[in-house]
Amino acid sequence: MSDHVDLIIIGAGPAGMSAAIAASRQGLSIVVLDEQARPGGQIWRNVEQRRDGALSTVLGRDYAAGAELVDRFRACPADYRAEASVWHIDEGQGTGGGKVFYLKDHQARVLEGRCILLATGAQERPPAFPGWTLPGVMGIGAAQVTLKSGGQIPDGPVWIAGCGPLAYLYAMQLRRAGGTIAGFLDTTPPGRLLPNFFAFLQAMLFQPAPMLKGVAWQLALRCTVPWVPHVAALTADGGDRLKTLTYTTTGGKPVTVEAAHLLVHEGIVPGTHPTLMLGCEQAWSDAQDCFAPKLDEWGETSLPGIFVAGDAGGIAGAQAARLRGELAAVAIMRRLKPSAVAERDAVKRLRSRLSRIIAGRAFLDRYFRPREAACLPPDDTVICRCEGVTAAQIRALTTNGLGDPNMVKAFTRAGMGPCQGRQCGYGVARLTAEITGTHAATVGLYRARPPLKPITLGELAVLDKQRTEA
Amino acid sequence: MSMNERAADTLVIGGGLVGAAVAYGLLRAGESVTVLDEGDVALRASRGNFGLVWVQSKGDKMHEYARWTRGSADLWPEFAGLLAQDGGIDPDYSKPGGIHFMLSEEDLEKKRAQLHRLHNSLEGQEYGAEIIDREQLDAMLPGLGPDVVGASWSPHDGHASPLRLMRGLHSAIAAKGGRYVADAKAEKVERDGSGYVVRTAKGAFRGDKVVLAAGHGNKWLAPSVGLDVPLRPEKGQIIVTERVRPLIPMPTHVMRQTAEGTIMVGDSHEDTGYSDASTSSVVSDIAKHAVRCFPALGQLRVVRTWGAVRVLSLDGFPIYQESATHPGAFSINCHSGVTLAGAHALALAPMIARGRLDASLDAFHSRRFEHATAH
């Protein structure tokens, strides 16, 4: 028997799990592939293991609440395959769905689906300031992964630089876990509240609970840790590892302090590699300052039968991801089983809950929009860490009318390393736009190529097209 | 449409490896040159190049091609030096000799016969490729898999970085005063007195001569200058691994280690039309073959795989020609943009600068297809 299913869901976070639960209710055959050992995604990483432990107190109630969805996901009939990393997707030549190639237990496997749902989440907006590649500097997302998986926190006082909900949340979690914060360098530019006051009120109205929580975090942090507002520029120094950092506030003079750990965060952006590789049309989101795949109201991409749900389709958070997963499930069910009818009222309810969350989101997008310098760093900043390409090397390419990220890649090797341009994609797009006097939206990102996830030549070699799975 | 100010001696349509090498050669010959390049939507066969400067086994059915290829390999050391000097970018060329693995005694015998034919074709010029057995091979390249029974080896083979070559050519073109116009896809080539006008999205450009080096685009452009260029697309797939310590001291026909330390694995031939997406089954076959030849590669992480569309004539050999009805209009097509870069810059370009292709290139005219059918 060849391995054909109705629906392949990639990612077992809030969107993937919700879609699996909803679609399996309709009797579709579903396989859920996820690279982690347990369901939950990034937001609820390891939540099953942490259910009653002290750590869930550290991580907070929203984290612990994920266990309920994980339980329902475990109980649903979808075939969940953990530690399965998807390295390639072949779309079905316009006929809908496609083939998903994944690696599990060092075995390359293939699975064919009539529909594919990408619930692959977001990534941190890559940092770009001089010295960010030094050991001792880390993204808050990565720091949170170590906290969730092993309960680990950095050893010694931590500087935090950045802005956005995740930065404040992690600072709170770090303190609860017994960590020390040397200082919080808030990079939110001054004067953001007043012009966005209407959006603020709207957010308070539609999303009172998370908004109040966010305000409370900020107040608590401002009162208890050294707080530096309006940080406009940052440099990390120290030779072989971080020893000092220098920050400059808007209109201020540079201040240098000793630092052993620096955690940075400038918000998150959709992970676009799978949809870019597939050739799904992308759209620039001015509000979120990033690309996201073009989706219809159900989450279907420009390719038939290929859907996106959750933050991979635009940042809106875990609650929205659950709703978008369910909406995608409805559309997929309609497509594959036209005889079954979804409750119109249920769809209406999903949409209305989703629109309230999106309405509340606008404030966060505007208030925490990354400052320009976070996107257009000075010359001595490493843009591509894998290949060691600096902003200066890219800016030097002004001659001869070169102005395309793929050309920059071909000429500088930026984006050719193991991370495949996930770290430098936006940096190169921004710099290319600067060189050519256009906008990142028109420049676009690198073309994405397989493998999406690491695979060895040997593993690739044993991929058997005719292989059948049990 | 308004005319773009300066007229050039020669307009080169296409800024890939072929067009750029010819443009560089023309500039070296003292011409003023304008390169009209399509935007990044172009198929960019150049980026799919594997980077071999390869002589052995080429031209078995067309001895002029065997000689032309060998001539290019002989020009490569000088060409690489000139490029580094003029453009400041070294194309990472080296000529350690190249190996073609044989996985059965039967293949080995076939290769032996082929090398004999090629040797005879070169009219006294020593061909230099030879069959070596497993024992000799182990001394040159330790770590081969048990299935490799022997190889053919040629001291004239080498490799270069296609990306650095491309960048080096563009940089040298700029340094020599050449003009490069991006996003200027040629829409039409028209006669203009004794010269030509090329209409593009960026305006019209005038030159005394015009060279069509637009890869697959030549098929559509050539009829306007009275030429016929029958081409077919062929997809090539390439895999690149992570960087590793020096493992493979010389290029082989299926894998080579780059100056950066990555290992490129390639060699597939599919007829898939003009799509350059990667296809997993083919990529897997390439990986399988590479690991069979060289088991240690199995441990390496794949960083990237990609497909690119090669430009092949119906018989697979290059097309070099001048139009009989439109003097001064030339068309060039080949799939070995790296191997032949030396010849394109230092042998072909001077002929175009003189305004006539030498008789030695007659065999490459597309009139050879007049009675042929596509295969």
A95-153 tens-digit pLDDT: 788 999 999 998 889 999 999 999 999 999 988 999 999 999 999 999 999 998 888 89
Residue A70 lies in a domain: yes
What residue of B is the nearest CA neighbor of A89?
B280
Indicate the SS3 state at residue A61.
Answer: helix
- Chain A neighbors of B280, CB-CB under 8 A: 88, 90, 99, 101, 110, 450, 463
Q: Indicate if the pLDDT at residue A164 is higher than 80.
A: yes
Q: Indicate if the pLDDT at residue B122 is higher than 70.
A: no
In single-letter form, the type of residue at position B44 comes to: R
In single-letter form, the type of residue at position A1 comes to: M
| Same-domain check for residues A96 and A50 | yes
Structure-block tokens of residue A59 = 């991580």
Structure-block tokens of residue A400 = 């001869």
pLDDT at A381: 95
Contact B287 A399 (CB under 8 A): no
* pLDDT, averaged across chain B: 88
Homologous superfamily of domain range B98-155+232-313? D-Amino Acid Oxidase, subunit A, domain 2 (3.30.9.10)
- Chain B neighbors of A411, CB-CB under 8 A: 163, 166-167
Residue A11 confidence class, pLDDT cut points 50, 70, 90: very high
Torsion of CA A135, A140, A141, A142, to 10 degrees: 30
Domains B8-51+163-229+318-369 and B98-155+232-313 agree in fold: no
Instruction: Give per-residue pLDDT as tens, B159-175.
Output: 999 989 998 999 999 99
pLDDT at B335: 85
Strand-pair partners of B102: B150
Domain limits of chain B?
8-51+163-229+318-369, 98-155+232-313
Name the residue among A157, A174, A129, A369 with its Cα closest to residue A264. Answer: A129
CA pair distance B314, B336, nearest whole angstrom: 15
Instruction: Give per-residue pLDDT as tens, A336-381.
Output: 988 776 678 889 999 999 999 999 999 999 999 988 877 788 999 9
- For the ranges A163-172, A378-387, A433-442, the lowest mean pLDDT is seen at A433-442
CA pair distance B121, B147, nearest whole angstrom: 31
Nearest Cα of chain A lies from the Cα of B167 at a distance, in angstroms, of: 6
Residue B282 confidence class, pLDDT cut points 50, 70, 90: confident
Domain that holds residue A402: 376-438
Residue B298: which of A108, A451, A458 has the nearest Cβ?
A458
Give me the number of domains chain A comprises. 3
Residue A446 lies in a domain: no
Residue A1 confidence class, pLDDT cut points 50, 70, 90: very low
The secondary structure element, H or E, covering residue B148 is none
What is the phi-psi region of residue B128: left when phi exceeds 0, alpha when psi lies from -120 to 50, beta otherwise?
Answer: left
Instruction: Give per-residue pLDDT as tens, A256-269.
Output: 999 999 999 999 99
A463 touches B at CB < 8 Å: yes
Q: What is the mean pLDDT of residues B212-235?
A: 91
- How distant, in Å, are the alpha carbons of A397, A428, B171, B285 from that of A412? 9, 11, 13, 30
Identify whether the C-beta of residue B281 lies closer than 8 Å to the C-beta of residue B327: no
pTM: 0.90
CA pair distance A233, A38, nearest whole angstrom: 39
Contact A413 B163 (CB under 8 A): yes
- Chain B neighbors of A275, CB-CB under 8 A: none
Contact B304 A420 (CB under 8 A): yes
Q: Indicate if the pLDDT at residue B42 is higher than 70.
A: no
CA pair distance A409, A443, nearest whole angstrom: 13
Residue-wise DSSP of A64-132: HTHHHHHHHHHHSSSEEETT-EEEEEEE-TTSS-EEEEEEETTEEEEEEEEEEEE---EEEPPP-STTT
* pLDDT, averaged across chain A: 91
Residue A174 lies in a domain: yes
Residue B1 confidence class, pLDDT cut points 50, 70, 90: very low
Contact A90 B300 (CB under 8 A): no
Name A112's Cβ contacts closer than 8 Å, sequence gap at least 6: A2, A3, A4, A5, A97, A98, A99, A100
Nearest Cα of chain B lies from the Cα of A370 at a distance, in angstroms, of: 29
Nearest Cα of chain A lies from the Cα of B326 at a distance, in angstroms, of: 30
Task: Considering only CA atoms, give the Rg of chain B.
Answer: 21
Q: Where are the alpha helices (DSSP H) in A127-196?
A: 140-150, 165-176
Instruction: Give per-residue pLDDT as tens, B287-338.
Output: 999 999 999 999 999 999 987 777 788 888 999 999 999 999 999 999 889 9
Using a pLDDT cut of 90, give the percent of chain B over it: 66
Contact A404 B40 (CB under 8 A): yes
pLDDT at A470: 31
Identify whether the C-beta of residue B343 lies closer than 8 Å to the C-beta of residue B58: no
Nearest Cα of chain A lies from the Cα of B45 at a distance, in angstroms, of: 13
ipTM value > 0.95: no
- For the ranges A433-447, B34-48, B52-66, the lowest mean pLDDT is seen at B34-48
Q: Indicate if the pLDDT at residue B43 is higher than 70.
A: no
Torsion of CA B216, B217, B218, B224, to 10 degrees: 150
Strand-pair partners of B153: B99, B130
**CATH no. for residue A57?**
3.50.50.60
Q: Indicate if the pLDDT at residue B271 is higher than 70.
A: no
Structure-block tokens of residue A312 = 């991979």
Nearest Cα of chain A lies from the Cα of B276 at a distance, in angstroms, of: 11
Is domain B8-51+163-229+318-369 in CATH 3.50.50.60, yes or no?
A: yes
| Same-domain check for residues A284 and A236 | no
Contact B300 A400 (CB under 8 A): no
Which of residues 402 through 421 in chain A touch B, CB cutoff 8 A? Answer: 402-404, 406-407, 410-411, 413, 416-418, 420
Name A470's Cβ contacts closer than 8 Å, sequence gap at least 6: none
| Same-domain check for residues A143 and A201 | yes
Q: Indicate if the pLDDT at residue B352 is higher than 80.
A: yes
pLDDT at A466: 46
A454 touches B at CB < 8 Å: yes
Residue-wise DSSP of B1-70: --B-SS-EEEEEE--SHHHHHHHHHHHHTT--EEEE---TTS--GGGG---EE--TTTTTT-HHHHHHHH
- How distant, in Å, are the alpha carbons of A288, B10, B192, B206, B375 from that of B7? 47, 8, 12, 5, 41
Q: Indicate if the pLDDT at residue A83 is higher than 60.
A: yes
Mutate to test the interface with A, among B254, B302, B305, B306 (most CBs of A within 10 A): B302
What are the two backbone dihedrals, phi and then psi, of residue A141, each rounded to the nearest 5 degrees?
Answer: -55, -45
Contact B278 A450 (CB under 8 A): yes
Last residue of one domain, picked from the residues A317, A342, A367: A342
| Same-domain check for residues A281 and A225 | no
CB atoms within 10 A of CB A184: 24
Residue A347 lies in a domain: no
Helices and strands, number each (H, E), in chain A:
17, 21
What residue of B is the nearest CA neighbor of A459?
B298
Residue-wise DSSP of A431-455: HHHHHHTS-HHHH-PPPP-S-SS--
Q: Indicate if the pLDDT at residue B192 is higher than 50.
A: yes
pLDDT at A464: 62
CA pair distance A404, A433, nearest whole angstrom: 9
Q: What is the mean pLDDT of residues B365-373?
A: 79
Residue B276 confidence class, pLDDT cut points 50, 70, 90: low
CA pair distance B10, B33, nearest whole angstrom: 5
Contact A279 B277 (CB under 8 A): yes
What residue of B is the nearest CA neighbor of A398?
B171
Torsion of CA A176, A180, A182, A186, to 10 degrees: -20
CA A213-A215-A218 angle, to 5 degrees, is 110
Nearest Cα of chain B lies from the Cα of A285 at a distance, in angstroms, of: 23
Residue A308 confidence class, pLDDT cut points 50, 70, 90: very high
Mutate to test the interface with A, among B49, B202, B281, B297 (most CBs of A within 10 A): B281
Instruction: Give per-residue pLDDT as tens, A196-240.
Output: 999 999 999 999 999 999 999 999 999 999 999 999 999 999 989
pLDDT at B375: 41
| Same-domain check for residues A40 and A100 | yes
What are the two backbone dihedrals, phi and then psi, of residue B58, each rounded to the nearest 5 degrees?
Answer: -90, 135
Residue A411: which of B167, B288, B301 has the nearest Cβ?
B167
Identify whether the C-beta of residue A136 lies closer than 8 Å to the C-beta of residue A27: no
Residue A133 lies in a domain: no
pLDDT at A175: 93
A108 touches B at CB < 8 Å: yes
**CATH no. for residue A401?**
1.10.10.1100
Contact A461 B287 (CB under 8 A): yes
Identify whether the C-beta of residue A70 lies closer than 8 Å to the C-beta of residue A43: no
What residue of A is the nearest CA neighbor of B262?
A417
Instruction: Give per-residue pLDDT as tens, A15-73.
Output: 999 999 999 998 899 999 999 999 999 999 988 887 766 777 888 888 888 999 999 99
Residue A465 lies in a domain: no
What residue of B is the nearest CA neighbor of A436?
B182
Name the residue among B109, B81, B100, B275 with its Cα closest to residue B172. Answer: B81
Indicate the SS3 state at residue B284.
Answer: helix
Structure-block tokens of residue A387 = 């290949």
| Same-domain check for residues A181 and A106 | no
